[in-house]
Amino acid sequence: MSNGSFPPTPGRLRGALVTVAVVAVVCAAGWLAWYALRDDGGRDAGAAAEARHTPTGSAAPHTGDTGGTGHTGQTSHTGSGQADRADDSGTSGNSRKKPLKGMVVVIDPGHNPHNNEHTAEIARQVDIGNARKECDTTGTATNSGYPEASYTLDVSRRVRKLLEAQGAKVVFTQDGDRRYGPCVDERARIGNRAHADAVVSVHADGAGPGNRGFHVIAPAPVHRGKADTSKIVAPSRALADQLISRFGQATESKPANYLGGGSGLTVRDDLGGLNLSTVPKVFIECGNMRDREDAARLTDAHWREQAARGIAQGITDFLRG
């Protein structure tokens, strides 16, 4: 059925085809130009973003190196800016998080909670080099009955946790897991066999009321029989000095007012644990259990945590030189 139009002539058909071709070429050229501009713009934007996040003149991260020397435990760090950013995965960052890695610390919790059940055994005499002395004692207690042996174990376990967190290998002479003791000569041998970088024997004193404060006991020069402290007197004194400083700061305690001339330091030649040691070793008497003020601190768990922190920090300072 007709709609009133006429079929196209050959001339009209050619003209229409030419028009379509021209339009197609123009569109293709426009599309190509737009795509090229978009691509260049994307690359320029990416380069600009990269430039914004890359510091000028930055260098490749430096991993740094670490090393310990003898009992000082000195650690060397280089490239502080880049190394700080490597803390989560870089070698240098891990070394700083574990400053005592490779160090051995022996903690000697004074006495033993079971000593009072084995009085005959702990009364046995042992050789301490310049004399003979009882194997061990029961230790003292507060007037309310809190035993020194319980205090020393609690604080020593807290110290162990802090030191292990810094990478140290911590050895105990006893952990409440022995029938009694060990005897004072064996306590010394445990530190010697471990080739300890430092040994600290944890105690609390049993002096009269009104005598309060802490003190650290360092070995005197002893050269007799099995005892020869000549090589450990100086490093033990350095360990003592660090403990006095850090323990006082952490606990806000004052040095003992009844010995040591207020210095917090005493030197003795009658303790087998010191006489027979071949590695740096000291005793710390954290307070007087027989004094009401000191006893209130010694029986407080929060204060014991502060005491442990002071001991751990003193050991750390000594080992790091």
- Looking at the annotation, which residues are catalytic? 285
Q: Which amino acid is present at 140?
A: T
How far is 260 from 205, CA to CA, in rounded Å?
14
**In Å, how far from its chain's centre is CA 300?**
24
- Beta-carbon count within 10 A of 52 CB: 7
Reduced to 3 states, what is the DSSP secondary structure of residue 265?
strand
Q: Which amino acid is at 113?
A: P
CA distance 47 to 313: 50
Which of 229, 231, 314, 244 minimizes the C-alpha distance to 286? 244
Residue whose pair of structure tokens reads 């240098």 in the numeric block: 92
The two three-digit tokens of residue 314, written as one number: 């003193």
Give me the residue label for tokens 């407080």.
300
For 147-219, where are the E strands, in sequence order?
169-172, 198-205, 215-219
Give the H or E element holding residue 198.
Answer: strand 198-205
